[in-house]
Structures are given as C-alpha cells and as structure tokens.
Amino acid sequence: LPTLTSYVPRLIVQHLIDDPATNVPRRQRCESVCIFCDVSRFTMLAETLAAKGRGAEGLAKLLNSYFEQMVRLIGSEGGDVFKFAGDAMIVLWPPGNEELVLRLRRAAQCAVAIQQYLDSAEL
C-alpha cells in the first residue's frame, strides 16, 4: 500500500483503507471542489525548446520541475492531484472534516498562489 499512495489520489487510497473488500472500479458521488490547471503557453514553450535542440528531454525536465512546485503548493492547501493529463492536472478538495465553503476558499487561494509563485519562478 505505501507504494500505491505515490500514484493514486488520497481519496481512493482512503476508500481502499476504509473498505478493503470493496469492488473496484466503483462510482461514488461526493460533494467536492475541483480545479483544472494547465501550463500557460505550453505549445510555444515546446517549440522554443525544440528549436534550441533541447526537445522532449528538456521539456520533460521543465514540466517535472513545474509540476513538482505545483503539487507542493496544492498539498499545502489541502488539495489532492486526481489526474495528470499532458501539461494539465485535475485537483480535488474532497469531502472531509471541512465544510464545502472552506474547501472552496482553499482551492481559490491555491489557484492564486500557483499563479503568483510560478509566474516568477525559476524553472
């Protein structure tokens, strides 16, 4: 299970811990907050790196650095990366001990923090 937690959202891991006999996959409804994040000007960045001879390897290194910082900021606000998709990610603030309005506020603060921090970050 410890290895699995590195690759699976906390919401799913917690569900497996709470009910290990459950059948998967399984659909579950919950009241959650979700944000979608993607890398601004990603195509332009990819083309620039390719023109400089850094191509896919340089792009992967840069994207990993960018995502590492985003995941740290998301975690500090209680968010959970649900899915990576290319240059984007889906982030959830799932049900828990906090009311929906508080999770919504944390998600908005996180989005602002990501924009402010990564806009000027050295990658």
Residue ranges in the chain whose pLDDT is less than 50:
none
DSSP H or E stretch at residue 11: helix 10-18
What is the C-alpha to C-alpha distance for residues 5 and 23, in angstroms, rounded to an integer?
18
pLDDT of residue 122: 67
**Residue type at 89 in one-letter notation:** M
Q: Which two tokens stand for residue 66?
A: 């960018």
pLDDT of residue 1: 62
First to last CA, the chain: 32
What's the pLDDT tens digit per position in 33-58? Answer: 999 998 878 888 888 888 888 878 88
